[in-house]
A = this chain, B = another copy of it.
Amino acid sequence: MTAAPLAAVDKNSPVPLYHQVESQLEQAIRDGRYATGTLIESEFELARSLGVSRLTLRRAIDGLVSKGLLVRERGVGTRVVSPKVTRSLVARLTGLHEDLVRDGIAPVTEVLRLEEVGCPEASAHHLGIEPGEPVLLLERRRSVHDQPIALMWNIFPLGTIESTVEELTAKSLYQVMREQGAEPRVANQTIAAELPTAEDAELLDIEPSSPVLMLERTSFNGNGRCIEHSRTRYVADRYSFEMRLVTS
């Protein structure tokens, strides 16, 4: 590996240097300017030719390693791993709405319920409050091309968010939460397979014998306070989760 097919960085840009370098390298790899399996230039060489410090360059490479595009081998070099074809899906904290929009599919959301209720036993445990304490319950159904794909059930401690049926119909819940300062920073999540309840089967327009993917999630804000507990049921033959794992 001799030629460095990369442009110099712009030191006056507000974009951090390591980010510029990371983008450049990522593009070069996805374009195939670095073939899969080959070694890229050494860190010293790349840092010199791009006009950045070695630490800054390493930080850029760190990002690509954690994206699974590069692998480091001590004493040997840094190797291109990924086939350029698949753009990886990584588990994220954004919701289903963002996932679909990103893929160019327009989802429709109906708000089925939005009301104050006594907290169900199962959620109270996750939210860290007593069963029966008042909470805000939101139930929605999301469809694509008039076909239901998910039934979403969110519970918020009172005062976490305040919204209307209209707003929740127009925007994603994630967006509303962010605007109201209830942005999730950490979440614990469980994925399971279940059979739908009779009611859920009807709402999802599936047979009661057709399984659903259950995603149960508890989200916390930056202060460690629990801000939401949700249970989402996805129609199994219309949705699945993809993720990319990388060894640390």
Contacts and interface: CB of A to CB of B under 8 A. Distances in A.
A166 to B, nearest CB: 28
B245 A91 contact: yes
A80 B211 CA distance: 39
Report the copy number of this chain in the oligomer.
Answer: 2
Chain A: interface size category: 35 or more
Nearest to A233: B193
B213 A71 contact: no
B241 A191 contact: yes
A160 to B, nearest CB: 16
Contacts of A223: 36-37, 79, 81
Given A192-B236, A225-B37, A186 B81 contact: yes
Interface of A: 36-37, 68, 71, 73, 79-83, 86, 88, 91-93, 183-195, 209-213, 220, 222-225, 234, 236, 240-247
12 contacts: A79-B224, A82-B186, A91-B243, A93-B247, A184-B247, A188-B244, A190-B243, A191-B243, A192-B236, A192-B240, A193-B212, A194-B211
Given A71-B186, A79-B222, 15 more contacts: A37-B224, A68-B186, A80-B224, A81-B222, A83-B224, A93-B245, A93-B247, A183-B247, A186-B244, A187-B245, A188-B244, A190-B242, A190-B243, A194-B236, A209-B209
